[in-house]
Structure 1
Amino acid sequence: MNNAPDSSPLAANANGMLFVASDVEPADEADFNRWYDREHVEERVRIPGFLSGARYFSLEGGRKYLGLYRTESLAVFGSPGYRAAFEKQTPWSLANLDRMRQPIRRVCAVRAVTGFGSGSHAVVLPLAVTGDVEALVARAAAVGRQLAEQPGFVQSYLLAPDTALSTPLPREATEGRVLQPMLVIETSSADAARTARTAAAAALDADPAAGWLLALGWKLSAAELN
């Protein structure tokens, strides 16, 4: 496995990532999951510039549902295709966006990428907001190299939120809203994810109890739709 990290100082060629997490009332979950699985993921991945969409389900911490959508760049979120999809939601989308509870929407640059592939489990570790993003990128890359030596490691990357692009969802609280950077670690097992969460939190001065542990539900790549 090639574990060389992304060291581009300005992240000119960084992928983008749409991060959407939420809880849902039990009575709404069946339709919410049908919408996500039968319409929403495919609809988003078909937007030009989107590379993949994946659904995760929380095992420990965070929100119950997480969607991660990787794009060619942050510029995709200002493209006509994305604006059309975002501004002209289907009736099914509008109904289920309104069902989200405590939603979190972030549009991020994907930095400090180490490894490749998709793991069966993932950790999302929130980090402290910093004014020196490039220093955090360097630290995240160093942590990725350390994690890559552990059994079960698949990939790690830093999500650096873009303030202008990370507009909130309809039910997302805006008062006191903090756009924290997040380290994502993908692994091949839940135990490997827990071990990686502990190690990464210690290296990055983060609280391991704040790190989410999630299981991958399914993933769709744009190449599969061509």
Structure 2
Amino acid sequence: MNTPDLSFPAANANGLLFVASDVEPADDADFNRWYDQEHVEERVRIPGFLSGARYFSLEGGRKYLGLYRTESLAVFGSPGYRAAFEKQTPWSIANLDRMRQPVRRVCAVRAVTGFGSGSHVVVLPLPVAADAEALVQSAERIGLQLKKEQAGFVQSYLLVPDTALSTPLPRESTEGRVLQPMLVIETSSADAARTARATAAGAFDTDPATGWLLALGWKLSAAELG
């Protein structure tokens, strides 16, 4: 199911590649070696990529999540990205096929509040909004509220999927596929993440149980690669 392209990213908005999946227990070891030894570095070396981070689910969502920040959405149409996406290594092909219930979204990063990387992350799916800018403003308000009131708050931002760029992964179902915006909240502890999830869900009148809670595994920045 296609949804309207509501991203309308600001001119200076970062892009972000959001990839989540489950994996069969028998494939866990090789899947994690691939991600840790090849895939994250390979993606972060693409011109225009700023960082890549791996997260592991504690509550809800998929078992594994990768977040890759880019300079802009335009990076996902660049020759460097197309080459990496279209010419996967044999190890990548094998592990992409191992993904179960994968979710791939290419998003504009909006309503950024705070800075830094938290040890824990909440991903709160939101209903598709007819007025994207009103949703951005709401995300900014809740981010400022959390920054002011929430102990352990690090950063929050709204991910608005781009319809054209969010092509599905090989095993991703396209039946009933809805590209929901997602509020991401980074915190310094799991307890802070749970409290922030409840606060944000209340502000958006959505069920906090739909919000994922994940722990940071590791993160790589392009600056570290030289």
Same fold (TM over 0.5): yes
Superposition TM-score tier, normalisation by shorter sequence:
over 0.9
**2:5 alignment counterpart:** none
Name the % identity: 86
**1:145 alignment counterpart:** 144
Q: Alignment RMSD, CA only?
A: 0.7
- After superposition, the C-alpha distances for 1:43-62 in whole angstroms (9 at most, x for unaligned) are 00000000000000000000
**2:24 alignment counterpart:** 25
2-structure distance, mates of 1:207, 1:11: 29
Q: Does 1:221 align with 2:202?
A: no
- After superposition, the C-alpha distances for 1:107-133 in whole angstroms (9 at most, x for unaligned) are 000000000000000000000001211
Task: Give SS of 1:206's match.
Answer: coil
2-structure distance, mates of 1:10, 1:217: 29
**1:178 alignment counterpart:** 178
Displacement over 2 Å in runs of 4+: none
8 A contact 2:158–2:182 mirrored in 1: yes
TM-score by length of 1: 0.96
The within-5 A match list for 1:50-129 is 50-129=49-128
8 A contact 2:19–2:67 mirrored in 1: yes
How many Å apart are 1:138 and its aligned residue? Answer: 0.2
Task: Give SS of 2:144's match.
Answer: helix
**2:133 alignment counterpart:** 134
Count of residue pairs the alignment pairs up? 218
8 A contact 2:156–2:185 mirrored in 1: yes
How many Å apart are 1:10 and its aligned residue? Answer: 5.0
Unaligned runs of 5+ in 2: 1-7
Q: Could you say if the C-alpha distance between residues 131 and 89 of structure 1 is closer, same or farther in structure 2, counting changes exceeding 3 Å?
A: same
**1:167 alignment counterpart:** 167
- After superposition, the C-alpha distances for 1:54-73 in whole angstroms (9 at most, x for unaligned) are 00000000000000000000
- After superposition, the C-alpha distances for 1:144-203 in whole angstroms (9 at most, x for unaligned) are 000102110000000000000000000000010000000000000000000000000000
2-structure distance, mates of 1:131, 1:76: 26
2-structure distance, mates of 1:33, 1:214: 16
TM-score by length of 2: 0.96
Q: Could you say if the C-alpha distance between residues 93 and 113 of structure 1 is closer, same or farther in structure 2, counting changes exceeding 3 Å?
A: same
Unaligned runs of 5+ in 1: 1-8
Task: Give SS of 2:16's match.
Answer: strand
